[in-house]
Amino acid sequence: MKNTVIFDLDGTITDPAAGITRSINHALVELGHPAHPEADLQKYIGPHLNITFSELMGTSDEDTLARAIELYRERYIPVGYKENRLYDRMREVLFRLCADGSSLCIATTKRQDIAQSVLDFLGIDTFFTQVHGCDLHRTKPDLLRDILSDASLSVQPMVMIGDRDTDFDAATQVGMPSIAVRWGYGTSDELALATALARSPDDLPELIERTAQPMHRLAR
């Protein structure tokens, strides 16, 4: 069946840990804070950057947070995005979904142009009909509503696929089912918020068929 499948990017399609954690540490060190072990920073894969730096630096000062994000991107944009790794079997799954007639979209907290750079670098950009990014001023429910407002996409059964609570909460807010992926960075409590759980990428095509639902109205 043709479905509209909305994917999160980091921790769902790609493993971005090296680029994100190293770029966070670059910003912290430049601002006089100690670097953290990369494993300790993996919990920040998914949230908005202003939330990440607010917690790590213990500040809500907007100018300080803006400077931290600028320094993060100083490393991430030329270097960090190329440290993304496509999860094993993901390319084959994306190909199969497209071959079966589904429309694939991205909804990520990344800035849209940066997300597009990741897809281009990994050679998977042609699989996706639309790429939506939050940056700092929009939320994932906003992105899902944008996709729902496209009649060519919302006419098909829809599902959100991700690895963090923000993905599943966003889907719930707009009345959409969701699939959690076990290979990402969500905790067990976060994954339990989804409608269904995929243990490997090869589980996705069947789970999508079982989980995607018609969206009869645009959720407000």
Which candidate in 8, 10, 165, 167 is catalytic? Answer: 8
CA geometry: angle 128, 212, 43, nearest 5 deg: 70
By CB atoms closer than 10 A (0-12, 13-18, 19+), residue 209 is middle
Chain centroid to CA 213 = 21
Read off the tokens for 41: 């920073």
Nearest to 103 by CA among 203, 3, 187: 3
Q: Quick one: the chain helix, strand, coil %, rounded to 5?
A: 50, 15, 35
User: Annotated catalytic, 113?
Assistant: no
Catalytic residue positions?
8
